[in-house]
Amino acid sequence: MTIIRKMEDKDVLFLADIWLNTSIIAHDFIPKDYWINNKSLMIKKYLPNSEVYVAEETNNILGFIALSENYIASIFVDIEQQGKGIGTLLLNYAKNLRTELKLNVYQKNEKSVSFYKSKDFIILSESIDQPTLEKEYVMQWNNSKK
């Protein structure tokens, strides 16, 4: 059974590995070195300063979601665990914590754009991610029932 729990300090390096490996594959339109060069920022800044929840099964971390207020800073599922509902589980967990969620997603990451649309996110606007100069969507979900 998969559980969702708060990130512990001991999880950070493993989560950064999931982030790196998944980013390289999902964002193959961005040079691999970009992700490798940003891994230390994930470890030292982004993960420790976010509200992070981990999906875990039998002491194996399957994925995570990182929130900063109502913003989804990251949601990543281990490559071998994708397509098993882990991303949906993490997203639903976040939806239960918030009445509104926003995120940025690269336009070329069509798999993720489709995933978010299927989870009732709408495209609010388009922008350019300055570090990569890639086009991205700003997407939003809100629960008007809460």
Q: Which residue in 111, 107, 142 sits closest to 126, CA to CA?
A: 107
pLDDT in tens, 6-50: 999 999 999 999 999 999 999 999 999 999 999 999 999 999 999
Question: Is 146 a residue whose pLDDT tops 60?
Answer: no
**Token pair for 50:** 């976010």
Any idea which residue has 């490559």 for tokens?
79
For the cut 90, the answer to whether the pLDDT of residue 132 exceeds it is yes
pLDDT score recorded for residue 127: 97
Q: Contact 83/53 with Cβ under 8 angstroms?
A: no
pLDDT mean over 61-65:
98
Per the structure, the count of domains in the chain is: 1
CATH number of the domain within which 133 lies: 3.40.630.30
Structure confidence at residue 144 (pLDDT): 73
* pTM, entire model: 0.94
Task: Give the C-alpha separation, 127 to 81, whole Å.
Answer: 30
Four-residue CA torsion sign, 125, 133, 30, 45: negative
- Which pLDDT belongs to residue 145? 62
* Domain membership of residue 81 as a residue range: 3-142
What does the alpha-carbon distance between residue 67 and residue 74 come to, in Å, rounded to a whole number? 7
Q: What does the pLDDT look like over 100-114, one tens digit per residue?
A: 999 999 999 999 999
